[in-house]
Amino acid sequence: MLEFPEHFFEEEVRDGFLVTEMMKRAWAAMLLTLDAVAELCGKYHLRWYASSGTLLGAVRHKGFIPWDDDIDIEMPRRDYMTLLEHAEELPEPYWILSIYSSDTFDTMHAVVKNNRGMDRISPEYRQVLFHGFPFIVGIDIFPLDRLPSDPEKAKLQNLTYVWCYSLLHKYMILEDRSEHGDPASEEEAEAFLTEMDGFFQKLEESYGNLILPEEDRPLKNMLCRLADRIAMLSQDMPCHGVAYYARMLKKDHPESAGMPVAWFREVTELPFEMMKIPGTALYDTALSVHYGRAYMTPQRGLSIHEYPFFRGQAYVLACELELAELELRQQDWQQGPLHTGTGSLELPDAGEKQVLVYLSLASLMTEGPAVMEGMERLFDRILCNPDIRIRYLVLDGNSSDVLAGAMPGLLGRFRGWLNTLSKTGLFLDESGDYRNAIASCDSFYGDDGIVAELFKNTGKPMEYIHWQE
């Protein structure tokens, strides 16, 4: 198993970008997951390669791109399918989610996760294995299929795949509408079934019994598997390239026309944090195609997903812990819409007033040091008014346990800063008594969350903040 020196988890500025303690632990959890996959691949001599941003990170940064937080690998189709066949051999708590392991999964590549049998990472795995990181990570594995050299066969296969994928997409739209109370009309359902019958007829005309729908499976899963089998059609044919077929549907994607087979004939080992990972020896050519000739010059803002990836998980975990610590029942709190802007905090113009400052666990976990900077800006404002007193509300217990495991450095700095400020007489108390705080305070300043929703019911002035502003 991979070993991490303690200094690896310290926050660090890489290429001008601050990588927080929490992100370092997320990286560690992903590397451990990748290491488990690599070990299983080694057991069966399965080929795999760094892909996309992971390949770029290995070449340019010798590890993660500082402002990126995922790992992508790709595998030749036969190796990919063999890996799925042996997925159960991955050690706990790793598992592989794919269209072959789940009837509801609808992505055409597999995802390796670190939460087998768990809705959330258990405290045991969090502390013992994942170095305090409390969230689920996933590694994407993309199957590479052969593209036939024969232009007519290539055209037929591509058109068949596009039609099947289009049916899948239409069904998913109808399914989503139904789940939100807008089921398909009889006309829409009939039109979909008619088109599907036409597709099956064309499939039989083109390929005979080579591809047959698995009619005993749920419709969405049947279409997913059917599209996957269409992508596999050319495994034994002469080919001019390889591709992850679903990417070929995106005409603006660098791989929409596939990749040359030559990219994968020679493989080299590339440094990636404390690992070595395989990648094409022609990485200069591959990265130039994907990112342009200037790929060695870092550019931020190119990520296609939210950063950090665990923001949503952090918010859910924070709400659950805070509900428990506030001893609220779920039905006592109805979450309103998330507030994305800032209001104007109405500071009193006469007489001593109290401001409730609320800092959520989710902000500390996702924004890290930016939270401290935001708090400092707040107190600079309030210190200008001698009549303001702060009732600071931060929830403890399990929330502090999570932070102590994932961000001990930040937690120590934060507590030290609060201790220094408490000596100024600025704070009234830090007891965490939310009922008393909400009743007695005149204004609210802080994060959106449970306490904010409860304070909103009072009708008193509030200001929601973004710590990174």
Q: What DSSP string runs through 298-309? A: ---S--SS-SST
Report CA 399 to chain centroid distance, whole Å: 22
- Is 387 a residue whose pLDDT tops 90? no
For 55-59, 325-329, 390-394, 402-406, which range has the lowest pLDDT when averaged over its residues?
Answer: 325-329
Residue 262 predicted with pLDDT over 50: yes
Mention every residue, 6+ apart, whose C-beta is less than 8 A from residue 67.
17, 300, 303, 307
Residue 432 is predicted with a pLDDT of 65
pLDDT band at 401 (very low <50, low <70, confident <90, very high): confident
Helix axes 408-422, 398-406, angle to 10 degrees: 120
Average pLDDT, the chain: 88
Q: Which phi and psi angles does 57 have, rounded to 5°?
A: -60, -40
CA distance 110 to 11: 31
Angle between helices 369-383 and 408-422 (to 10 degrees): 10
**Centroid of chain to Cα 195:** 35
pLDDT band at 335 (very low <50, low <70, confident <90, very high): very low
- Outline where 67-214 has alpha helix (H): 77-85, 123-128, 151-179, 186-207
- CB 140, CB 113: distance < 8 Å: no
The percent of residues above 70 in pLDDT, for the chain, comes to: 89
Going from the C-alpha of 300 to that of each of 131, 293, 294, 365, the distances in angstroms are: 28, 16, 13, 22
Residue 159: what pLDDT? 96
Q: Which of 409, 74, 402, 398 is nearest to 246 (CA)?
A: 74
In tens, the pLDDT along 215-253 reads 899 999 999 999 999 999 999 999 999 999 999 998 888
**pLDDT interval class at 348 (50, 70, 90):** very low
pLDDT given at position 449: 77
**pLDDT band for position 306 (50/70/90)?**
confident
Query: In the prediction, which pLDDT does 357 show?
Result: 85
CA distance 363 to 371: 7
Instruction: For residue range 430-468, list pLDDT tens digits in order.
Output: 666 777 888 888 888 888 778 888 899 999 999 887 665
Q: Is the pLDDT of residue 415 over 70?
A: yes
Decide if pLDDT at 344 tops 50.
Answer: no
Q: How far is CA 407 from the centre of its chain?
A: 19
Of 43-57, 299-313, 404-418, give the range with the top mean pLDDT.
43-57
Residues 6+ apart with CB under 8 A from 387: 348, 350, 351, 352, 353
Average pLDDT over residues 160-184: 96
Q: Give domain 311-464's CATH number out of 1.10.1660, 3.40.50, 1.10.10, 2.60.40.
A: 3.40.50
* DSSP run (H or E) holding 405: helix 398-406
CA angle 417-410-18, nearest 5°?
115
pLDDT for 331 equals: 41
φ, ψ (nearest 5 deg) of residue 248? -70, -15
Lowest-pLDDT range of 88-92, 170-174, 422-426: 422-426
pLDDT band, very low/low/confident/very high, at 340 (cuts 50, 70, 90): very low
CA distance 402 to 396: 10
What residue segments make up the domains of the chain, in order of their start?
A: 6-147+242-291, 151-231, 311-464
In Å, the largest CA–CA distance within the chain is 85
Residue 440: predicted pLDDT: 87
pLDDT of 342 above 60: no
Element (H, E) at 146: strand 138-148
Q: What is the CATH topology of the domain spanning 6-147+242-291?
A: Beta Polymerase; domain 2 (3.30.460)
Q: Are 234 and 76 in contact (CB under 8 A)?
A: no
Q: Answer for the pair 462, 456: CB distance below 8 angstroms, yes or no.
A: yes
Q: How far apart are CA 67 and CA 303, in angstroms?
A: 8
Look at residue 328 in the predicted model and tell me its pLDDT. 54
pLDDT of 351 over the 90 cut: no
Q: Is the pLDDT of residue 10 over 80?
A: yes
By percentage, how much of the chain surpasses pLDDT 90?
61
Higher pLDDT, 372 or 198: 198
